[in-house]
Amino acid sequence: MEAPNFKSLKDIDTSFSLMRLFMLVVIIGCLGFSSAISFWAFDAVEKSRQKVYVMDGGKSIMLAMAQEHNMNRPAEARDHIRVFMKAFFELEPDENQIKNSIKEASYLGDESVGRLYKDLSEKGYYQNLIQGNVHQKVEIDKNNIIVDFTQSPYKFRAKGREILIRETTITVRNLVVEGYLIDVARTDNNPHGFQIERFLPVDNTDIETVNRNNQSTY
């Protein structure tokens, strides 16, 4: 009987070892390539989420960064509150002006705004403005509008002054309000994309009343 060829067996074993090594290298290479593709795809998707395309009058497309948009939300929230307070509290002794102004404010808030308007109407507040020929102005400093963006809905507190101008006197009142903001879709009537909830005046006390003959015009 012919003796086994140990050299041939050794060559076969070496070949199998090299084959296993080659397959291992191929598998590792495939895994590395797949990981790189996955990372690239994830990065591309993440970057695409940061881009918003806006139609400019149907003629051209402008590119806006979503990240910059989100950074601007606190400023938009403060302006939303300021615009609302101007619409709700800055009134003239004119029934149509009051209704239109309250309607403008209602687009920026929920039913709590309507309830407050109804309550003031039933108490004769607006009728007294008209009959007394009272011009009601509001001074709101954006630095006195605080919005907590750590949790949604976003709680806010705003401070300002309410000025009631009558024929012979000027009355200055504190105006402190609280409420919450939620994100909603932007519309022509609500360009900031916020809605005020649970709106509540917490301080509307008189500061002073002066005679107009002794005070400069507001």
d(CA 154, CA 183): 9
Domains of the chain: 71-214 (3.10.450.230)
Q: Would you report the helix, strand and coil content of the chain in percent, each value rounded to 5? A: 45, 30, 20
- The reported pTM is 0.67
- Hey, which bits of the chain come out as E strands? 51-56, 60-65, 135-147, 154-165, 169-183, 194-203, 206-211
Average pLDDT over residues 76-82: 96
How do residues 136-161 score in pLDDT, each as one tens digit?
Answer: 999 998 889 999 999 999 999 999 99
Q: Which helix (H) or strand (E) holds 49?
A: helix 6-49
How do residues 106-115 score in pLDDT, each as one tens digit?
Answer: 999 999 999 9
194 CB burial (10 A radius; 0-12, 13-18, 19+): buried
